[in-house]
Structure 1
Amino acid sequence: MFWTHSGGFILGRVDTVFAKKLNAVVVSVDYRLAPEHPFPAGHNDSYSAFLWMVKNAKQLGIDPSRIAIGGDSAGAGMAASLALRNRDDKGPAIAMQLLLYPTLDNLHATTSGSVEDYPVWTRKTSFNAWDMYLNGTPGDKASPYAKNKFS
């Protein structure tokens, strides 16, 4: 499992609880975070680490035909963007994608994106995190690998 961590693209840690409980080889990357390192820094770090994992699968004790990618929250958004880039680059096969409550819509143009009263990660906080991740690039002009719009 290639795992990317949560944190709104602006914080977070590699050593997630998920990775500790999974009975499998888990590779995660401490990707560079915004605002100091906006897109595409973290995305490129994550994709490079994924390709490294695939290249070194046998030495890591991984069956290369069973590699999954995933993440939680912003990490799930990162995993989704990696899958898109991997598809476009005709990269190695991905056996499964596990997206836990993915951060996908930088415009918040969905029903859940319009909710205002989440106790910790508010809509305003989310917009601020996206703005830092995209380095102020207007959401509709952002790279498809950053905004994860699938339409």
Structure 2
Amino acid sequence: MPPERSQEPVGLPQVIAARPEFDPELKAGLAIVGGVFPPTITPDLIPFMRRSYASPPVHETLAGRDVEHREYEVEGHDADPVTVSVFRPARAAGPRPVVVYAHSGGLMFGDRFNALDLNIQWVEQIGAVLVTPEYRLAPEFRDPYAREDMYAVLEWTARNAEELGIDRRRIMVAGASAGAGLAGGLALASRDREGPAIVGQLLIYPMLDDRGTTVSTNQFDGVGVWDRVSNETGWSAALGEAYRTDAVSPYLAPARATDFSRLPPAYLDVGSAEIFRDEAIAYATNLWHAGGDAELHVWTGGFHAFDIFAPHTALAQGMLRTRFAWVEKLLAD
């Protein structure tokens, strides 16, 4: 018997014409972004995205930085090997806080070096250790591969704290977009499985809900970055026949959780002009209702991942400063 389909709200139109405007400075750069990251990603574009969204060689990103870089092979889901990159400050003394980071890419593309140029600031300026796994991608590896690869790496990180030079009491999970959904799933799974203690969860414009029922999901079709169709492509690739059924795990789609208690403090940031706006707001609300701690920032006129695609803009600079301040406070010595 097939899994039961989740009931969708009555009367919600598939596409909503009215939507928030893009920030003028951001809007000017959208045409350039579209050549690398088209607004609508269909299954036939996955090979193109794996090429266009690939990170530059890691040695280029690390050039001139006082950072140590090591590669490890870690047992992931089903004990298969997963490559993990670890970056640490070259001159830091004593056990350091650690960030276990899940990259973006809609669960279909991207790599462990995505956003490294930004995230390496946690290593350089805060003295944290950054752990970035090459979790396996859909549709070749459907759920539970990505989330269980990430959980295996979280456990490996805590288990090897002495070798990695980290402080088990200061483990933060983080991710962007689909990676933020995986990070939220790590917090849920670690609580439920009595796994490593997590001090905080950084959820950057998080992809949290496969059901696609929010107003913001349906406001953006063929515009911006990562529209409704792209979202459907990513979730369908990762979930297969389970997509939009009650069989979907909250460890992949954290919005499906029914218990939001006893979770670590969360930071969520999202643009007002992107599909993930409403699910980020709802997730923060669920954490508050359960007595938890959540800091939520909705950046007016921001499209998805504008900090990556337009980091020079005033809005992106504000987003990055505010996010960094929260991480710095959370991981402070």
Is the 8 Å Cα contact of residues 4 and 14 (structure 1) preserved in structure 2? yes
C-alpha RMSD over aligned residues: 1.3
TM-score between the two structures when normalised by the length of structure 1: 0.93
In structure 2, what is the Cα distance between the partners aligned to 1:30 and 1:138?
23
Q: Deviations over 1:83-124 (max 9, x none)?
A: 111111011210111100000011122232222243231101
Amino acid at match of 1:150: A
2:300 corresponds in structure 1 to none
- Structure 1 segments unaligned to the other structure (5+ residues): none
In structure 2, what is the Cα distance between the partners aligned to 1:69 and 1:10?
20
2:23 corresponds in structure 1 to none
2:195 corresponds in structure 1 to 91
Helix, strand or coil for the counterpart of 1:51? helix
- Higher radius of gyration, 1 or 2: 2
In structure 2, what is the Cα distance between the partners aligned to 1:136 and 1:26?
35
In structure 2, what is the Cα distance between the partners aligned to 1:111 and 1:70?
26
1:150 corresponds in structure 2 to 257
Q: Deviations over 1:5-59 (max 9, x none)?
A: 0000000111133332212100010000000001101111110011000111121
Question: Cα offset for 1:68?
Answer: 0.4
Is the 8 Å Cα contact of residues 235 and 243 (structure 2) preserved in structure 1? no
Which of 205, 212, 232 is matched with 1:127 structurally? 232
1:12 corresponds in structure 2 to 110
Question: Cα offset for 1:139?
Answer: 1.4
Helix, strand or coil for the counterpart of 1:33? coil
Structure 1 stretch displaced more, 135-144 or 2-11: 135-144
Amino acid at match of 1:7: G
In structure 1, what is the Cα distance between the partners aligned to 2:219 and 2:158?
39
Count of residue correspondences: 151
Which of 185, 205, 216 is matched with 1:112 structurally? 216
Relative contact order, higher structure (CA 8 A, sep 6+): 1
Helix, strand or coil for the counterpart of 1:65? strand
Helix, strand or coil for the counterpart of 2:152? helix
Amino acid at match of 2:129: V
Is the 8 Å Cα contact of residues 134 and 146 (structure 1) preserved in structure 2? no
Amino acid at match of 2:119: A
In structure 1, what is the Cα distance between the partners aligned to 2:136 and 2:102?
12
- Structure 2 segments unaligned to the other structure (5+ residues): 1-98, 259-333
Helix, strand or coil for the counterpart of 2:110? coil
Larger strand share, 1 or 2: 2
Is the 8 Å Cα contact of residues 103 and 110 (structure 2) preserved in structure 1? yes
Structure 1 stretch displaced more, 47-56 or 110-119: 110-119
Amino acid at match of 2:244: G
In structure 2, what is the Cα distance between the partners aligned to 1:120 and 1:49?
29
Which aligned pairs between 1:62-101 and structure 2 lie closer than 5 A? 62-101=166-205
Question: Cα offset for 1:82?
Answer: 1.1
Helix, strand or coil for the counterpart of 1:135? helix
Is the 8 Å Cα contact of residues 58 and 64 (structure 1) preserved in structure 2? no
In structure 1, what is the Cα distance between the partners aligned to 2:142 and 2:219?
26
